[in-house]
Structure 1
Amino acid sequence: MDQQANSPINPKSGFNSSAKTFHSLRPPIHLPPEETPFSAADYALSLHANHSPWPDSLAIINSSTSQKLSYSDFIERIKSLTLYLQNVTQLRKNDTAFILCPNSIKVPVLYFSLLSLGVVISPANPISTESEISHQISLSNPVIAFAISKTCHKLPKLKYRTILIDSPEFDSVITMSPAAATTAQQDLEKVTVSQSDLAAIMYSSGTTGKVKGVMLTHRNLMAVIAGYYPFKQERKSPTVMLYTVPYFHVFGFFYSFKSVALSETVVVMERFDLKKMLRAVEKFRVTHLAVAPPVVVAMAKSDLTDGYDLRSLETVGCGGAPLGKDVMKVFADRFPTVDLWQGYGLTESTGVLSRSNSPEESRHWGSVGRLTACCEAKIVDADTGDALPPGKQGELWVRGSTIMKGYVGDPEATSTTLDPDGWLRTGDLCYIDEEGFLFVVDRLKELIKYKGYQVAPAELEQLLQSHLEIADAAVIPYPDKEAGQVPMAFVVKQPQSRINERGVMDFVAKQVAPYKKVRRVEFVSAIPKSPAGKILRKELRKMVLIPFPSSKM
């Protein structure tokens, strides 16, 4: 007791008053010693094999075709593909594989197979243009690509031929007979993968500049998985998790490993459609949804949800961008038995830094939960560089075992983002309250500077989204000779809405300080967003011909 009384760490907030840092309030995670050879794929499979109450439950379901794979099917397919890639394709440890595929039940099989061989995964958005893909390939330097027939034409010639995962040939490779699979296992040459080895090169969203290749290790992935494991629920049947997030995004990427470790049944959607998602929740009795913020907004506001039986739904986990309290309240009123929680992370932090872990935490509206077990943080004053106490806003800096190795081939960007002590500068304006809950205010670089005042676009966006006649909204700075910048709103109307420019401005003006008022309005059919739900402000700037500021971040 005396030791705790003398500790500089506040047990409620996690704030260390002497070091000016925030420590996680979660139980510590348990990982194998760093020198133990272990791939992230083998780690996830070992947790499933050793601790699952349902060793051969359903692993994956295709939401559109209802095709199902049990865990034994899933593991056999991984073994078959691994043998083929090792012996026929001749892939070797430290090779990089570029992946240009939409979501399918084959993608996790491919991920697990490649990582077990020590091959580095580099997944990209299949709707990327050829020039975008060319830049990504120049960063990751792959020797092989995996694609589908609709995307392969965008790829250049690499060392090995492109493998189409929607081809009959690929299907035959991953579906060996049991006898052949047994022989294959004997022929498989075991690859020694170190936890410090590179597991993936993920591409940062590029919303604030040139796309960069984020280097993540097997240890990074294992730390994320280990952070979820202590909170595994005791259940009578497996969690049924529906992914609307893409596998090529860090959110979907780490979830593919987390779900196996926790023996979840995963329902996969190739592309998001609200009606199809609701139909899948009803059909497959989905208990958990992993979504981006626009999906929560749609569920809260759309009448479509009334036509489906969603009683199986227990939890909706949201990440990628902040959710407003007003939207969360509308959602809670509409789905009173569903826990809605937010998480926060970056590609550079293997997708997770904080999240809610219980119904009680999820009701801490507006926050993105508490720091994960493998993370410590500090809030830094952007002007003075001083670390700040609870309740004060500043840039969030984080470090821990989920933080990236760096940006591939870009030591300058790496040193700008990672300091010598391992702190990652997130670029996000945040604060941590007296109970250790993290709040994300906005991106530092997206703050609007109105006559010296700082205005957070996210605050105005959340306010606009609370209006019954507004389906969606985004706010950007618009140049102004007198004020420097003024808030400009892009608004998507609800069907039959009669709201006009003056109505939008008056609605905001009644609820904010004068310097936060929206002073320009543009009505649009849709807000451009990344696959993770982040607003693509550079696209909005193009609409009104505002030059996008150059940035090294």
Structure 2
Amino acid sequence: MEPSIDPKNGFSSKTKTYQSLRPPVPLPPETLPLSASAHSLSLLLRNPSPPETTTLLIDAKTGNRLSAAQFLRHVESLAAYLQSNLNLSKGDTAFILLPPSIEVPILYFSLLSIGVVISPANPLSTKSEIFHQIQLSNPSIAFATSSTAGKFPSTASFHRGIVLLDSLAFRPMMATTSTGRFDLNKVRVNQSDPAAILYSSGTTGRVKGAILTHRNLIALIGGYYEMKPEATEENPPPDVSLMTLPLFHVFGMFMCVRAVALAEAVVMMERFDFEVMLKAIEAYKVTYMPVSPPLVVAMAKSDLVAKYDLSSLRLLGCGGAPLGKEVAERFVARFPDVEIVQGYGLTESTGSAARTMGPDESKQYGSVGRLAENMEAKIVDPITGAAMPPGHQGELWLRGPIIMRGYAKDEEATANTLEPDGWLKTGDLCYFDSDGFLYIVDRLKELIKYKAYQVPPAELEQLLQSHPKIADAAVIPYPDEEAGQIPMAFVVRKPGSNLNEAEVIDYIAKKVAPYKKIRRVAFVNSIPKNPSGKILRRELVDQALSSASAKL
């Protein structure tokens, strides 16, 4: 380590940047042709247990299991079919509108192995939201189920058609035949090629398509692979994980790819249900779960938990939104043998950037951990632009091999988010402490985090302002113990209107996905704005909180 770098926190007094305190992880040469799929499967095959006896996927509902050998054969067969029968080739994009199932990881790996860009979206999205996403990604094929296919707008044109995973035609596509094998290294996929377009609200405004490359995924998975703890008799590694996360979300997608690389068995739930989750932990002896904070709250408070044997659970990986100290302490008091590790990342950083590792770091409640391997960070004063030392707040900037290429079809947003020298501006107000732990203070960007989903206020404000009885409106995050934050609307009625809260909530509910719904409304005479017309959201947040405390 350079003399100018503080070994306690990684801060360089010379460059004013933070270096990761984790050991650097060696990555394949960037010029080596390699898909994220081939890379993860090569790591899987290094697992000492034979592929035939290594369970990789478990259907929570049916108990159906897939071994690593079966998974590999399905990936090879499906890749061969997609290439030869549907004429999919490198550079095509696949729009994916699917609920979780054990077929989804097979589909992801098959598409990635032939260089097709995967673009998964939330099956709960509305037609107008899906239309916008299709415009960004320009897909040539879509994968859906009979229940989600109806969401595609009639104007959407998929040149290679729509494949329904719950149709009788899909299963034979994965079936192994003597000629249906596919060499995973046959297609020359460069690490710099796009692997996925994932939908993110970015720093402001409408949904954007973040372009992640194969290199981004390879760097991310390489870090997890190299950092996995050594297995011992007293401390076997987490080897059965339960997927509670949506697979279209960056957190769910990378945890899925990671589990394959690390040869972990993944229990898949078709739809999330709290008691079904508890039953699955007991039935399949789940040791590890990636979760969002609301699930930690539920486990700490629910009476249902006592009905099930959760003794196999050893580790929760919490991300998607900050986990409060009180919630973490309440959980640990109830589950003293379960460690919670926290992490921080954005869609634009392939879902990672910082995390806690090990029992000592996990006790740093309130922190999202230390900077991930191979990463650099800056804390930039949003007013002066100066890079700040430990203990000082500013916007977090990140640089490293997991940072996205940019936003699809949005050069302006890309230029506003990515600096020419590779720094990603996160829009989050943060600081590092003297030991290199990162703390998220607030969001400079105006997104609302509802159960780890991003809700852009501007989108809801535009919809509210389209209501004939509304003169003006603003949307803010309102704190909620279960969801983290909920969207709250401040509404100015048109003169003579008697519009009520239920009408406002119902109007928006019909136009957006469930997680974006307005859940609280206050009627006001005017919306506070600065001279340029920008809504002074902080004033409204203070008004909402003071009004709530006055009612207590």
Aligned pair partner of 2:196 in 200, 207, 210: 200
Give how far 1:185 is off. Answer: 2.4
**Which residue does the alignment assign to 1:129?**
126
**Which residue does the alignment assign to 2:239?**
239
Give how far 1:479 is off. Answer: 7.2
**Which residue does the alignment assign to 1:371?**
371
Residues 5-84 of structure 1 correspond to what in structure 2 (within 5 A)?
Answer: 7-56=3-52, 57-84=54-81
Q: Describe the shift of the 1:237–1:365 C-alpha distance in structure 2 as closer, same or farther (beyond 3 A).
A: closer
Q: Which deviates more from structure 2 when the two are superposed, residues 436-445 or residues 207-216?
A: 207-216
Contact 2:40 2:258 in 1 (8 A): yes
**Which residue does the alignment assign to 2:544?**
none
Q: Please give the alpha-carbon distance, in whole angstroms, between the structure 2 residues aligned to 1:143 and 1:367.
A: 42
Give how far 1:173 is off. Answer: 1.4
Q: Which amino acid aligns with 1:136?
A: Q
Residues 428-439 of structure 1 correspond to what in structure 2 (within 5 A)?
Answer: 428-439=428-439
Q: Which amino acid aligns with 1:200?
A: A
2:190 maps to 1:211: no
Give how far 1:437 is off. Answer: 0.6
Contact 2:489 2:518 in 1 (8 A): no
Residues matched between the structures, number: 481
Give how far 1:477 is off. Answer: 8.5
Aligned pair partner of 2:180 in 181, 184, 187: 184
Q: Which runs of 5+ in 2 are unaligned?
A: 449-475, 493-500, 536-552
Q: Which deviates more from structure 2 when the two are superposed, residues 206-215 or residues 90-99?
A: 206-215
Q: Which deviates more from structure 2 when the two are superposed, residues 122-131 or residues 541-550?
A: 541-550
2:80 maps to 1:101: no
Q: Please give the alpha-carbon distance, in whole angstroms, between the structure 1 residues aligned to 2:302 and 2:185.
A: 53
**Which residue does the alignment assign to 1:341?**
341
Q: Please give the alpha-carbon distance, in whole angstroms, between the structure 2 residues aligned to 1:436 and 1:219.
A: 26
Give how far 1:134 is off. Answer: 0.6
2:207 maps to 1:225: no
Q: Which amino acid aligns with 2:165?
A: I
Q: Describe the shift of the 1:94–1:473 C-alpha distance in structure 2 as closer, same or farther (beyond 3 A).
A: closer
Contact 1:52 1:262 in 2 (8 A): no
Contact 2:293 2:484 in 1 (8 A): no
Look up the SS of the partner of 2:399 in the other structure.
strand
Q: Which amino acid aligns with 2:390?
A: P
Q: Describe the shift of the 1:381–1:206 C-alpha distance in structure 2 as closer, same or farther (beyond 3 A).
A: closer
Give how far 1:445 is off. Answer: 3.6
Look up the SS of the partner of 1:312 in the other structure.
coil
Give how far 1:101 is off. Answer: 0.2
TM-score of the pair, normalised by structure 1: 0.81
**Which residue does the alignment assign to 1:270?**
270
**Which residue does the alignment assign to 1:354?**
354
Q: Which amino acid aligns with 1:239?
A: D
User: Deviations for 1:261-281, whole angstroms, at most 9, x for unmatched residues?
Assistant: 111000111221111111100
Give how far 1:61 is off. Answer: 0.5
Q: Please give the alpha-carbon distance, in whole angstroms, between the structure 2 residues aligned to 1:84 and 1:245.
A: 29
Look up the SS of the partner of 2:329 in the other structure.
helix
Contact 1:231 1:357 in 2 (8 A): no
Give how far 1:106 is off. Answer: 0.3
Look up the SS of the partner of 1:247 in the other structure.
coil
Look up the SS of the partner of 1:386 in the other structure.
coil
Contact 1:446 1:476 in 2 (8 A): no
User: Deviations for 1:355-403, whole angstroms, at most 9, x for unmatched residues?
Assistant: 1111111111110011111211011111111111101111101111000
Q: Which amino acid aligns with 1:9?
A: I
**Which residue does the alignment assign to 1:484?**
none
Q: Please give the alpha-carbon distance, in whole angstroms, between the structure 2 residues aligned to 1:29 and 1:300.
A: 36
Contact 1:323 1:366 in 2 (8 A): yes
Identity of aligned residues (%): 53
Q: Please give the alpha-carbon distance, in whole angstroms, between the structure 1 residues aligned to 2:136 and 2:126.
A: 16
User: Deviations for 1:384-429, whole angstroms, at most 9, x for unmatched residues?
Assistant: 1111110111110111100000001111000000111111110101
Contact 1:394 1:429 in 2 (8 A): yes
User: Deviations for 1:57-111, whole angstroms, at most 9, x for unmatched residues?
Assistant: 1000011111110101100100110111010000010000000001100000000
**Which residue does the alignment assign to 1:141?**
138
Q: Which amino acid aligns with 1:78?
A: V
Residues 409-424 of structure 1 correspond to what in structure 2 (within 5 A)?
Answer: 409-424=409-424
CA RMSD of aligned residues (A): 3.0
Give how far 1:310 is off. Answer: 0.4
Give how far 1:184 is off. Answer: 2.2
Look up the SS of the partner of 2:230 in the other structure.
coil
Residues 86-97 of structure 1 correspond to what in structure 2 (within 5 A)?
Answer: 86-97=83-94
Give how far 1:430 is off. Answer: 0.6
Q: Please give the alpha-carbon distance, in whole angstroms, between the structure 2 residues aligned to 1:17 and 1:128.
A: 47
Q: Which amino acid aligns with 2:332?
A: A
Q: Please give the alpha-carbon distance, in whole angstroms, between the structure 2 residues aligned to 1:51 and 1:58.
A: 12
Q: Which runs of 5+ in 1 are unaligned?
A: 449-456, 466-470, 482-489, 491-522
**Which residue does the alignment assign to 1:510?**
none
2:329 maps to 1:329: yes
**Which residue does the alignment assign to 1:153?**
150
**Which residue does the alignment assign to 2:518?**
539
Q: Please give the alpha-carbon distance, in whole angstroms, between the structure 1 residues aligned to 2:47 and 2:166.
A: 33
User: Deviations for 1:125-174, whole angstroms, at most 9, x for unmatched residues?
Assistant: 01111111110000000000000010111223310110001112111211
